[in-house]
Amino acid sequence: MYMPSLKTITPLLGGNYYHIFNRGVDRRKIFFHERNYSYFLKLIGQLLTDYVIFLSYALLPNHFHFVIRLKDRIYVKEDIIDNEELIGNVVVNQLKKLFITYSMAVNRQEGREGSLFEPKYKRILIEDNDYLLNAIFYTHYNPENHEIVKNFRDYEFSSFKSIIFGTQGIVNREYLLEIFDGMEGFLNYHNTMHESKYDEME
């Protein structure tokens, strides 16, 4: 099964797929209350979805995972940008805004100071379709993998439920389902991968 390399850091470039993840400093919490998860997702919608296609996410108490695709063309202050490096730079700056804005809010909430996240978030370039499908499943399965829930399908703070039920969120559901050739393919892939995890434990 796909497992991310914690040592891999690669530049962000327009048009490419990535698995992005990070955790709290010293593995400490980054989400303290249910409203923190909602606020983080709200910030993503405000700061990133104009430049990034979200395919999956999971927010856990002390870390998060995204699978994303940087868009090929973006609009910044009425300018059209289609250079892959410039698009990557915009996304890097928006991610920085996300982490700083969220950290400041949580620090005020918790009466704390200093960094909330590890200083360097990880990013892994996804270069083939099997790797992409695996990364999306891995993201959804992560809460079960960390024994936060017994079944990943029940977790409230991942994209799995919003994809299944079609609720509004940051994931581009139509784009995602095309990758799996529809909802049936999405469900079959997740069910098959989940069953294989149980086979590994036997």
**Mind listing the pLDDT tens digit for each residue in 157-189?**
999 999 999 988 999 999 999 999 999 999 999
> Domain residues of the chain, as ranges?
17-201
pTM score: 0.92
Q: What is the CATH number of domain 17-201?
A: 3.30.70.1290
Residue of 142 and 1 predicted with greater confidence: 142
Given a contact cutoff of 8 angstroms between Cβ atoms, the answer to whether 10 and 123 are in contact is yes
What pLDDT, in 10s, does the model give residues 4-42?
A: 454 456 899 999 999 999 999 999 999 999 999 999 999
